[in-house]
């Protein structure tokens, strides 16, 4: 994968990890960045992460299913707040969140960064 397709920056905030994604989204990028996020949370021995996305690009429903099935299980026991700046991604994000929740992953999607921050701090 071309490393210039997306950037992922981490910031430790209080008792949670803030992960900021920008750039181009794709299936291979999704597998990679969700794995990196899960590994970073585990390495820091945290249980909470706020994922702030600003990615453009298409991921199919089937690819979202594969990401949830293959990568997110390593996120069991982690609380995930998701805020996506790309409003057009909301239906696919909601599908991914529903799939993850059905597999026991504590993930919520938010319409604002402030709401995501409030939830993750209170969790």
Per-residue CA distances from 80 to 40, 44, 115, 119 (Å): 13, 15, 13, 10
Does 3 score more than 60 pLDDT? no
Global pTM? 0.91
Structure tokens at 61: 């429903």
Number of folded domains that form the chain: 1
**Per residue in 13-51, pLDDT tens?**
999 999 999 999 999 999 999 999 989 998 999 999 999
Rg of the Cα atoms in the chain: 13
What pLDDT digit, counting tens, does each position of 69-112 carry?
A: 887 656 668 899 999 999 888 888 899 899 888 888 899 999 99
Specify which residues 10 forms β-bridges with: 19
Confidence of residue 1 (pLDDT cuts 50, 70, 90): very low
Burial class (CB in 10 A: 0-12, 13-18, 19+), 3: exposed
Which domain does 49 fall in, by range?
A: 3-122
CATH of the domain at 83: 3.30.750.24
């Amino acid at each position: 994968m071309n490393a210039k397709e997306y950037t992922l920056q981490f910031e430790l905030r209080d008792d949670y990890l803030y992960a900021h994604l920008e750039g181009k989204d794709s299936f291979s990028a999704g597998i990679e960045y969700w794995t990196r996020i899960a590994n970073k949370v585990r390495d820091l021995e945290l249980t909470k992460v706020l994922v702030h996305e600003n990615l453009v690009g298409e991921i199919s429903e089937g690819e979202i299913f594969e990401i949830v099935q293959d990568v997110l299980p390593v996120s069991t026991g982690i609380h995930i707040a998701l805020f996506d700046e790309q409003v057009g991604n909301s239906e696919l994000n909601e599908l991914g969140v529903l799939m993850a929740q059905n597999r026991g992953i504590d993930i919520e999607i938010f319409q604002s960064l402030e709401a995501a921050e409030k939830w993750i701090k209170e969790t």
